[in-house]
Chains A and B, each alone.
Chain A
Amino acid sequence: KQEVTQIPAALSVPEGENLVLNCSFTDSAIYNLQWFRQDPGKGLTSLLLIQSSQREQTSGRLNASLDKSSGRSTLYIAASQPGDSATYLCAVNSGNTGKLIFGQGTTLQVKP
């Protein structure tokens, strides 16, 4: 049974700092991995999608890496801003049905 873990559960950093969020999964047989952002009281917004054959994806100040063999992914946020404050969720797709298995999320606070 696939399990996804995110560490840390919460993170507080000063504005401008570079930071890394971690995601680990127990079964390396995945099709892809997604990082989502969730603002309070809102739904999920997809940030980056990494296919199993890829090692990383970049979008603006965000860079996500994937190491299937070790069951790990990281989300790197460069030059953090207060507007980056949100909960970040990673999810793996390890079946052909589209079913996503989510981690519990990391709540990020960027202080001005």
Chain B
Amino acid sequence: EAGVVQSPRYKIIEKKQPVAFWCNPISGHNTLYWYLQNLGQGPELLIRYENEEAVDDSQLPKDRFSAERLKGVDSTLKIQPAELGDSAVYLCASSPGTGFAYEQYFGPGTRLTVT
């Protein structure tokens, strides 16, 4: 069974440019998470989807970040415009359902460098 797929794996952009990250969860997993991981820190949740609905986006900086999961399968996270402080690893995870009983499976992440 294929795991969580993320692309690109690495991205280098100049500040003020837009950038998008893509995630394809494990087949059948209806819950999808985007996490931000700064260097030397643990991941922090940005947004959680149940199917196509964003049910927890309280940590998403909405002035420059947006996300979508139009058909309840794959998802895109966008930053526009990017700032130097956005340099980090963006992780996507999925689970079969929502709640503490369901284990989350993580993708390899996209490492963003903003220059």
| A-to-B contact residues, CB < 8 Å | 4, 9, 31-32, 34, 36, 41-46, 49, 89, 91, 93, 95-100, 102-105
B93 cross-chain contacts in A, Cβ below 8 A? 44
Query: How far is the CB of B88 from the nearest CB of chain A, in Å?
Result: 13
Closest chain A residue to B102, Cβ basis: A98
Task: Please encode chain B, from 85 to 115, with 1 for each CB lying within 8 Å of some chain A CB and 0 for all others.
Answer: 0000001010100111011111111010000
Q: In the bound complex, do residue B100 and residue A43 qualify as a contact, i.e. CB atoms below 8 Å apart?
A: no
B106 cross-chain contacts in A, Cβ below 8 A? 36, 43-45
**Highest count of chain A CB atoms <10 Å: which of B4, B48, B55, B104:** B104
B43 at the interface (CB under 8 A from A): yes
Q: In the bound complex, do residue B42 and residue A43 qualify as a contact, i.e. CB atoms below 8 Å apart?
A: no
Q: When A43-B4, A43-B109, A103-B42 are in contact, do A96 and B91 touch as well, CB less than 8 Å?
A: no
Q: Which residue in A4, A9, A31, A89 is a CB contact (below 8 Å) of B100?
A: A31
Q: Which size class do B's interface residues fall under?
A: 20 to 34
Q: When A4-B42, A105-B42 are in contact, do A41 and B108 touch as well, CB less than 8 Å?
A: yes
Q: In the bound complex, do residue A97 and residue B48 qualify as a contact, i.e. CB atoms below 8 Å apart?
A: yes
Query: How far is the CB of B78 from the nearest CB of chain A, in Å?
Result: 21
Q: In the bound complex, do residue A99 and residue B45 qualify as a contact, i.e. CB atoms below 8 Å apart?
A: yes
Q: When A43-B4, A43-B108, A97-B98 are in contact, do A104 and B40 touch as well, CB less than 8 Å?
A: yes
9 cross-chain pairs, A with B, having the tightest CB-CB distances, nearest first: A102-B42, A31-B100, A43-B106, A44-B106, A93-B100, A43-B108, A104-B41, A43-B107, A104-B42
A44 cross-chain contacts in B, Cβ below 8 A? 43, 91, 93, 106
Query: How far is the CB of B58 from the nearest CB of chain A, in Å?
Result: 10
Give 12 A-B contacts (CB < 8 Å), ordered by A residue.
Answer: A9-B40, A45-B106, A95-B100, A97-B48, A97-B55, A98-B31, A98-B95, A98-B104, A100-B104, A102-B41, A105-B40, A105-B41
